[in-house]
Structure 1
Amino acid sequence: MTRLFVYGVLIRELAKGRAAELIAPLEEGRRASVEGTLYALRGGDGGWYPILLPGESGKVHGMLHDASGVDWPAMDAFEDAQGQPDDEYARREVPVTLADGTTTDAFAYCYVRAIPHEAEPIPGGDFGAWLRETDRKPFEARE
């Protein structure tokens, strides 16, 4: 079974616009985490989105979904992960730990550029909690 780990604007409670359309066919998902570091960037619409650096020290929290309903070409286009040299992300398989401690592998969109100087670290690796704590909104559309 193919799985998808989401940690930002593709989390159902945070998804707006195109992101909400892309995840609509997916089941509710299960809480999960990956090893890594999370940063936030401001998008063109003034909202924020996270960038994941997998395998770094720390834990990033998100949701694990059965990806059988994912429209991969549309998801890759949304995430700017189409295999081009200037892409922002790449879809990579990463180890994921579920809340009950079991592990599996899943695709996640990992940041592939140098970390911009304006990137803000997200302590605790939870994008939704960071948005609430900083009174910011998630981005809805790519610039």
Structure 2
Amino acid sequence: MTQPAHLFFYGVLQDGLGLDGGDWPFLQGLGLGAPATTQGALFAIPAESGWYPALILTTAQHSTIVHGSIHEASAVDIAAVDAFEGEDYTRQSIPIDGWDGYGDTEAQAYVWTADLPEGAEPIANGDFAQWLNDTGRRAYSG
């Protein structure tokens, strides 16, 4: 398990989402974030305790600009974050735009690698927080 320099979050681990808008305890040590984007397809996954997103790296149908935040991650407990994300995601390096304002930066993100479950909904605008607001649904809270 390699400690990432940067993590890109696009879902419930963003500030103000999940855990009733509070901080996730396992993210202690995570650096401040900055708005960032990547390319892919974003889907909302239903769960009993709310909705969470799935990023699929693709340039095919449903591909869009996915909005999120990039964080300095050298002091976060990456094993705890990996455990939270679970088996349906793989942490991998992806190109991110927005960190330094000069183009692509590599960051690690949790990419969905399982089959999409029944009830998954595409998020056409690539913005999970906006999708929650527009649909009135609540974020996964653990």
Aligned position for 1:8? 11
RMSD: 1.9
Aligned position for 1:92? 92
Amino acid aligned to 2:69: M
State the Cα distance separating 1:13 from its structure 2 match. 1.0
Which piece of structure 1 moves more, 14-23 or 29-38?
Answer: 14-23
Please tell me whether the aligned partners of residues 44 and 53 of structure 2 are also in contact (alpha carbons under 8 angstroms).
yes
Please tell me whether the aligned partners of residues 12 and 20 of structure 1 are also in contact (alpha carbons under 8 angstroms).
no
Distance 1:134 1:88 in 2: 24
From 33, 53, 64, the counterpart of 2:37: 33
Please tell me whether the aligned partners of residues 95 and 105 of structure 2 are also in contact (alpha carbons under 8 angstroms).
yes
Aligned position for 2:109? 108
Amino acid aligned to 2:30: L
With normalisation by structure 1, the TM-score equals 0.86
Distance 1:44 1:24 in 2: 26
Distance 1:22 1:15 in 2: 13
Write the mapping of 1:37-76 to structure 2, written as runs, cut at 5 A: 37-45=41-49, 47-56=50-59, 57-76=63-82
- Among all aligned residue pairs of Structure 1 and Structure 2, give the percentage whose two residues are the same amino acid: 38
Aligned position for 1:22? 26
- Structure 2 unmatched ranges of 5 or more: none
State the Cα distance separating 1:118 from its structure 2 match. 1.4
- Structure 1 unmatched ranges of 5 or more: 81-86
